[in-house]
Amino acid sequence: MKYPTAIVLETSSLCNRYCTTCLRNLMPDRNSVKSWFENNFMSMENIEIFVDQYNQFKGNPNVCLCYYNEPLLDPRIVDISKFLKKEGVPYLYLVTNGDFLTKELAGRLDGVLDRITVSLYENRRARSPEIVSLFKKTKVWIKGNHIVTHYNPDAVPLSESICAAQKAATRIIINHKGQYCLCCDDLTGVFDLGSFPEVNLKDYWFGDKHKKITKDLLIPGGRKKYPYCSICPRVW
């Protein structure tokens, strides 16, 4: 199994929006997502441990500072970004809804982040030129599409198809609680793949359980082996 091309790190829990397509708001077990509706942060100690493990990890994967949160709600986001770049992360980026992106904050992030992706939904797209103008060094991507995922009323399970989350075989995801998540549709660590830093990056990635699941999902019908995957609407 090759080394990952990216690592997703969710440094905080909060988001200011309520999107009807988001797993935060769709998970039937509300207790499992309680942490995302409270003020929780990944500790700086764990972020420092992450850097130590990252630098022992081959491949120099990209690092993305967000998951099911709004990363700019983390008041440490500039300092964390500077720390990661200083410690050797070659390509650093995040995805934001743009609501908290001021000229002052953009100036502090410009040239620290390699890329910022701004999800300007429907009526906000008129802000695109303004946001692009805030950055001189950091590349800006503008996106605007919601993705249908688990428990969405429009979701159609596609258990016969090859898993759309092929990124499970190319990236590591760690939520703010430290749980390893298999893919973009695994918000709460439903596959019980362990937690960081108790399980280090290398042991997780090359662990038998992770390797088996990703191998199963890369074959037609492999989703059927896992209840959560069998109801997933994403297609490759």
Give the residue, 128 or 112, on which the prediction is more confident. 112
The answer to whether position 65 is within a domain reads yes
Structure tokens at 104: 């002052």
Region for 112 from its dihedrals, namely left if φ exceeds 0, alpha if ψ lies in -120 to 50, beta otherwise: alpha
Q: Is the dihedral of CA 17, 38, 10, 151 positive or negative?
A: negative
DSSP-derived 3-state class of residue 88: coil
Q: Using alpha carbons, list the distances in angstroms from residue 127 to 154, 177, 179.
A: 29, 33, 35
Question: CA-CA distance, 67 to 187, in Å (whole number)?
Answer: 8
The answer to whether position 230 is within a domain reads no
Asked if the model's pLDDT at residue 81 lies above 90, the reply is: yes
The answer to whether position 234 is within a domain reads no
Q: What is the mean pLDDT of residues 78-82?
A: 98
The answer to whether position 227 is within a domain reads no
Q: What is the pLDDT of residues 161-219, one digit of tens each?
A: 677 656 667 899 999 999 999 998 999 999 999 999 999 999 999 999 999 999 898 88
What pLDDT score does 219 carry? 84
Residue 106: give the domain boundaries. 6-148+170-210
Question: CA-CA distance, 134 to 101, in Å (whole number)?
Answer: 9
List Cβ neighbours of 103 (8 Å cut-off, separation of 6 or more). Answer: 134
Q: Are 119 and 143 in contact (CB under 8 A)?
A: yes
What pLDDT score does 97 carry? 92
Q: Are 91 and 117 in contact (CB under 8 A)?
A: no
Q: Using alpha carbons, list the distances in angstroms from residue 214 to 193, 201, 231.
A: 12, 16, 17
What pLDDT score does 92 carry? 98
Overall domain count for the chain: 1
What pLDDT score does 67 carry? 96
Structure tokens at 141: 């991507």
Single pTM value for the model: 0.94
Q: What is the mean pLDDT of residues 143-165?
A: 75
The bridge status of strand 115-119 relative to strand 139-143 is: parallel
What pLDDT score does 165 carry? 59
DSSP-derived 3-state class of residue 154: coil
- Give the CATH number, domain containing residue 106: 3.20.20.70
The answer to whether position 164 is within a domain reads no
Percent of the chain with pLDDT over 90: 70
The answer to whether position 159 is within a domain reads no
Asked if the model's pLDDT at residue 144 lies above 80, the reply is: no
